[in-house]
A and B are shown apart, each in its own frame.
Chain A
Amino acid sequence: QVHLVESGGGVVQPGRSLRLSCAASGFTFNSHGMHWVRQTPGKGLEWVAVVWHDGSNKYYADSVKGRFTISRDNSKNTLYLQMNNLRAEDTAVYFCAKGNLGHHFDYWGQGTLVTVSS
C-alpha cells in the first residue's frame, strides 16, 4: 500500500530556512508527480508546489515562489521542500501528496508541523 512519511518540521525563526522530506513507498515513485500542500492551523488547505515525475518541471504557488524549492530524488524515493526566508504566515502543517493525472491528490502523508516564530 502507498505510504508517505514527512519529516523535518519544527520551530524556526523568521528569515531562517528549513528542509522537509517525504519518504515514499508502495508505488512506482518515478512515475508520478508529487506535491506539497499546507494547512494553516484551524484554516483550510493551500497547494504549495508540484514537481513532475522526472523532476523536469516544477511549479509553485505565488505565496512561496522565489523562497521555496521543491525537488525529488527518485533513487531514494524521496520528495523534498527547501524553505528559505520563512515568514510567520508560513506556519502550517505541510503534507506531501501523490499526484494523479486527473489533477487530484490520491494519497497524502500524515503531515509535519512547521512553526515560524521568534
Chain B
Amino acid sequence: QSVLTQPPSVSGAPGQRVTISCTGTSSNIGAGFDVHWYQQLPGTAPKLLIFGSTNRPSGVPDRFSGSKSGTSASLAITGLQTEDEAEYYCQSFDSSLSVPNFVFGSGTKVTVL
C-alpha cells in the first residue's frame, strides 16, 4: 500500500493533454514537502522528470509540468507524444516517523491511444 495515491492509468491521443494526480496527507505533501516526479520507460530505471514540485531538470521537455496545492500534486503532459508512454511515479518526504522517510506513489501508466 503506497503512502501517496495515484490513479492506476490515464490515456490520451497524441497531441492531447493529460494530468496525473498524486494525493498525500498532512505528514507529507500537506506538511509542505515538495513533490517529485519520475518517468519509467519499460525495462529501464526511473528518471527524474520534475523536482521541487515544479522544476524540470535540464533536458526534460517543457511539455511536462508540475504543480502542488494542499495535500495534492499534479503532473501535466501537454502535446502528448508516443514516447511519453511510460509509468509515472510521484515521491515526497514524510515526517510521520522520527527518522527520514521517503515515500512514493503507486504509479500511473500513461497510454498513448
- The answer to whether A binds B is yes
Interface residues of A (CB under 8 A from B): 35, 44-47, 50, 59, 61, 95, 100, 102-111
Q: In whole Å, how far is A39's beta carbon from the nearest beta carbon of chain B? A: 8
Task: Please indicate the chain A residues that have their CB under 8 angstroms from the CB of B89 in the complex.
Answer: 44-45
Q: In whole Å, how far is A107's beta carbon from the nearest beta carbon of chain B? A: 8
* Chain B stretch 64-113: residues in CB contact (< 8 A) with chain A: 89, 91-93, 99-107
Task: Please indicate the chain B residues that have their CB under 8 angstroms from the CB of A95 in the complex.
Answer: 45-46
7 example contacts (A-B, Cβ-Cβ < 8 A) are as follows: A44-B105, A47-B101, A105-B48, A105-B91, A106-B57, A107-B48, A108-B47
The reply to whether B107 and A102 contact each other, CB–CB distance below 8 Å, is: no
Determine the distance from Cα of A35 to Cα of B101 in the docked complex, in whole angstroms: 11
- Known interface pairs A44-B104, A44-B105, A47-B103. Does A103 touch B93 (Cβ–Cβ under 8 Å)? yes
The reply to whether A50 and B45 contact each other, CB–CB distance below 8 Å, is: no
The reply to whether B107 and A44 contact each other, CB–CB distance below 8 Å, is: yes
Chain B 29-54 near chain A by CB (<8 Å), digits 1 or 0: 00001101010000011111001100
The reply to whether B51 and A104 contact each other, CB–CB distance below 8 Å, is: yes
- Known interface pairs A35-B102, A103-B34, A103-B102. Does A45 touch B48 (Cβ–Cβ under 8 Å)? no
Q: In whole Å, how far is A104's beta carbon from the nearest beta carbon of chain B? A: 4
Task: List the 6 shortest-distance A-B pairs measured between CB atoms, nearest first.
Answer: A104-B36, A47-B102, A108-B45, A103-B93, A45-B104, A44-B107
Task: Please indicate the chain A residues that have their CB under 8 angstroms from the CB of B44 in the complex.
Answer: 110
The reply to whether A111 and B91 contact each other, CB–CB distance below 8 Å, is: no
The reply to whether A46 and B48 contact each other, CB–CB distance below 8 Å, is: no
Task: Please indicate the chain A residues that have their CB under 8 angstroms from the CB of B104 in the complex.
Answer: 44-47
Task: Please indicate the chain B residues that have their CB under 8 angstroms from the CB of A47 in the complex.
Answer: 101-104
- Known interface pairs A44-B2, A46-B104. Does A102 touch B52 (Cβ–Cβ under 8 Å)? yes
Query: Who on chain A is nearest to B104 by CB?
Result: A45
Q: In whole Å, how far is B22's beta carbon from the nearest beta carbon of chain A? A: 12
